[in-house]
């Protein structure tokens, strides 16, 4: 029944385009693009975008610009893309204004101009485009094409987030997390990271994992943290990939240390010292270095000497530091490393 309905819609759009209706040409474009009621066909989609754009349809101009921009169904041509975005933007199409802003910001098909980028993002944002709102917030946050203003950045991220943009939701969470342009509120940060993560934003997924791992705005839950780190890492987020690697390192050395392995105790201490795969804790690092050193591991002896020398997790004591440095040196230690 659904397939039959889609075919009927496609036939209706096709009939309407023959009567030169540019709005239905744009709808027909999407049928070919998404395979709705007809076989998916990039070349035909491009042709229909062309007809729609030539008919003065602002959405069609924007869509055709996008395809020239990325070389979809045609040869990539950034200058043509810019001109089409410009037409669409000047006629008031808000997504076209957003794309034109991107052209000016990145120098796509035109000279780079951050002030013009900001101006077009502003028009797009004020017209209700969530991507324009996000980029406008980003401009205010970093002082791009305008004066830096964290409060305005927060307000535009809020609008973008409430409009359903997953990146806007992530940045709004970030604002609440660190008190940027608003009062710090870890619970709200967690809630917005959750929405962002569920919306498919890889940064939001990483930040949600970080919240679960460190108990920020929620109960600490390492399993959920690893779950969201994994999803983010699969999406290509390098911070999540590094976090997963660190998790593996930490748990490998934790198991070794619990089994009484002196080398594992030293390496686990190093994880606590630098916060690798766990929360940084100098006192735990110091206690593990004592166990490792007393177990005869020269790496642990060297690490313990450093703790006494610099006062890490314990009271500074140069005499004890020297004694453990000597023991470590006699054992042939050349440094401390975690792998």
Per-residue pLDDT of the chain (339 residues; tens, 9 = 90+): 444 443 444 344 444 444 444 444 444 445 444 544 434 567 777 888 888 888 899 999 999 999 899 998 889 999 999 999 999 999 999 999 999 999 999 999 999 999 999 999 999 999 999 999 999 999 999 999 999 999 999 999 999 999 999 999 999 999 999 999 999 999 999 999 999 999 999 999 999 999 998 899 999 998 899 899 999 999 999 888 888 888 888 888 999 999 999 999 999 999 899 888 888 899 999 999 999 999 999 999 999 999 999 999 999 999 999 999 999 888 776 554 444
Looking up residue 314, the CATH number of its domain turns out to be 1.25.40.10
Give the predicted TM-score (pTM) of the model: 0.70
Residue 259, domain member (yes or no):
yes
Name every residue whose Cβ is closer than 8 Å to that of residue 229 and which is 6 or more positions away in sequence: 205, 206, 209, 213, 240, 243, 244, 247
- The conformational region for residue 182 under phi > 0 = left, psi -120 to 50 = alpha, else beta, is beta
Residue 314, domain member (yes or no):
yes
Can you tell me the distance from the alpha carbon of 224 to that of 204, in angstroms, rounded to the nearest whole number? 14
* Tally of structural domains, the chain: 1
Residue 214, domain member (yes or no):
no
Residue 41, domain member (yes or no):
no
Question: What are the structure tokens assigned to 285, written together?
Answer: 């690092």
Residue 193, domain member (yes or no):
no
**Helix (H) and strand (E) counts in the chain:** 18, 0
Residue 243, domain member (yes or no):
no
> For residue 41, what pLDDT is reported?
65
Name every residue whose Cβ is closer than 8 Å to that of residue 178 and which is 6 or more positions away in sequence: 184
Residue written as tokens 């008919």? 55
Residue 262, domain member (yes or no):
yes
Domain residues for the domain of 319 are 248-329
Quick one: DSSP state of residue 181?
A: S
Residue 287, domain member (yes or no):
yes
Residue written as tokens 């710090």? 184
Distance of CA 213 to CAs 208, 220, 277, Å?
9, 6, 9
């Amino acid at each position: 029944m659904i397939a039959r309905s889609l075919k009927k819609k496609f036939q209706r759009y096709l009939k309407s385009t023959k009567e030169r209706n540019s709005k239905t040409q744009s709808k027909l474009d999407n049928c070919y693009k998404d395979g709705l009621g007809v076989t998916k066909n990039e070349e035909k989609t491009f042709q229909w975008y062309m007809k729609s754009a030539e008919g003065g349809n602002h959405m069609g101009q924007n869509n055709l610009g996008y395809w020239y921009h990325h070389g979809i169904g045609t040869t990539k041509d950034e200058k043509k893309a810019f001109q089409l975005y410009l037409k669409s933007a000047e006629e008031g199409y808000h997504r076209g204004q957003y794309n034109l802003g991107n052209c000016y910001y990145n120098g796509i098909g035109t000279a780079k101009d951050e002030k013009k980028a900001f101006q077009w993002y502003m028009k797009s944002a004020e017209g209700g485009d969530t991507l324009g709102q996000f980029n406008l917030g980003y401009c205010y946050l970093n002082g791009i094409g305008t004066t830096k203003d964290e409060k305005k950045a927060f307000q535009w991220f809020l609008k973008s987030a409430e409009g359903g943009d997953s990146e806007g939701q992530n940045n709004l969470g970030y604002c609440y997390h660190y008190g940027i342009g608003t009062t710090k509120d870890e619970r709200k940060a967690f809630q917005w990271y959750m929405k962002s993560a569920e919306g498919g934003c890889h940064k939001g997924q990483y930040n949600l994992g970080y919240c679960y791992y460190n108990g920020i705005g929620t109960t600490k839950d390492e399993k959920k943290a690893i779950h969201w780190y994994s999803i983010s890492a699969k999406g290509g987020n390098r911070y999540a990939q590094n976090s997963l690697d660190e998790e593996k390192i930490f748990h490998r050395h934790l198991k070794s240390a619990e089994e009484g392995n002196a080398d594992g105790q030293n390496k686990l201490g190093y994880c606590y010292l630098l916060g690798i795969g766990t929360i940084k804790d100098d006192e735990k690092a110091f206690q593990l270095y004592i166990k490792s050193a007393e177990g005869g591991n020269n790496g642990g002896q060297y690490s313990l000497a450093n703790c006494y020398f610099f006062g890490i997790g314990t009271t500074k004591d140069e005499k004890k530091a020297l004694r453990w440095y000597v023991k470590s040196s006699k054992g042939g230690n050349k440094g401390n490393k975690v792998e």
